[in-house]
Structure 1
Amino acid sequence: MDRILARVGKRVVSSDARGETITVEARSTVRAAPCPACRRWSNRLHGSYVRRLEERPMLEQRVVFAVEARRFKCVNAGCPRRTFAENIHALAGRHQRRTRSQARALYALGHALGGEAAARLANVLGLRTSADTVLRELRRASGRKRKPRPRVVGIDWAIARGHQYGTIIVDLERREPIEVFAGRETTAVTAWMRAHPSIEIVARDRAGAYAEAVDIAL
């Protein structure tokens, strides 16, 4: 569990079993994140909040992740966004109260059995849900354009606007760029890689920051 949460920049600090529920508390280790509006990276911390996410049950016990998410101040004076939260989409979708792992389980049950039957079996298996929730997962999955997860990427420097050094990340299997952002700092590259746990192989230049980021994230 520690390794799974570490992939999205979280560190388990405690776990507590009470009644039929296991609560796992995890703190954020992310020191910088990109603004979703302008894509500029920021390490100016604004605050944090806790998201409670339902995970798949373990040993017939309900599992809840109490995950800290940090908010940052955008450093771009021209950006309409003043603050933003770190991206934990690899763990859970926006505004969702369950992990992607649990959502995939509900989708699989719903796809095989339909709403009512899937909900009955899910509750027997410890996945607290309803037929309406199962159907929502089916609709959400069908309406979402699935992009292949990058497995082999290349990381190199790039020239951003204003002739500042930046970073470009390319999916080498599909030969297409998937991210460009300002800066070459270790924290920025590490945070991006942790948000993409599917990555297995990284080709990079000799920049020390890139080497350190790869060693930390993989």
Structure 2
Amino acid sequence: MPVAQDRARAAELRVRPDLESDLGKLGLRFGAAVYMRIFKREKLLELWVEDTDGRFVLFRSYPVCAYSGDLGPKLREGDNQAPEGFYRISSRQLNPNSRFHLAFNLGYPNAYDLAHGRTGDFLMVHGSCVSIGCYAMGDDGIEEIYTLAAAALRGGQSAFDVHAFPFRLEPADLEAQRDSPWYAFWNELEPAYARFEQDRRVPRIRVVGGHYLIDTR
């Protein structure tokens, strides 16, 4: 087995028993589909797991150890901003050989980012507690996050969604940011946030004409 896979396998052996036990208490299954939300201002990553009815249940909330930049999206290579927006991660984006222990690539720039001329690459969710445009979760946190994500992909989920928000996009919180230069952009993120809050199903999102739209097909 390659050294990189040894690291991921060793992490899974450490954390899987407790994960399976805690999932079972919620009626959830190890290997079920996952979904993640990141909130910058709250410095929090939520990991949701799909139940037998196709809805997602909050399983764990992990503190974000570090992210770089301020509230607002990443615009260009070298601006040290962590991305905001909607990203999908497949198995090829997992990196068990990261120099930050374990990691997965968010897939920035996505179609929206490209439509707006945004640049940069290798934006990750990873271990350690150092960030240059990434979301650093610490080694203990990333071992659980990576293990659950890898198990979901092995279990049949083709890709999992990560929605990175500046903060919880509740109406009052969003209205308080009306003077922000990113107010219009955050309003494009809000419908997906609200839809998930309503039905606990991950909305399908398209980019049309440089705008995020919830796919109702």
TM-score w.r.t. the length of structure 2 is 0.24
TM-score w.r.t. the length of structure 1 is 0.24
* Structure with greater strand share of residues: 1
Return the index of the structure with the highest Cα Rg: 1
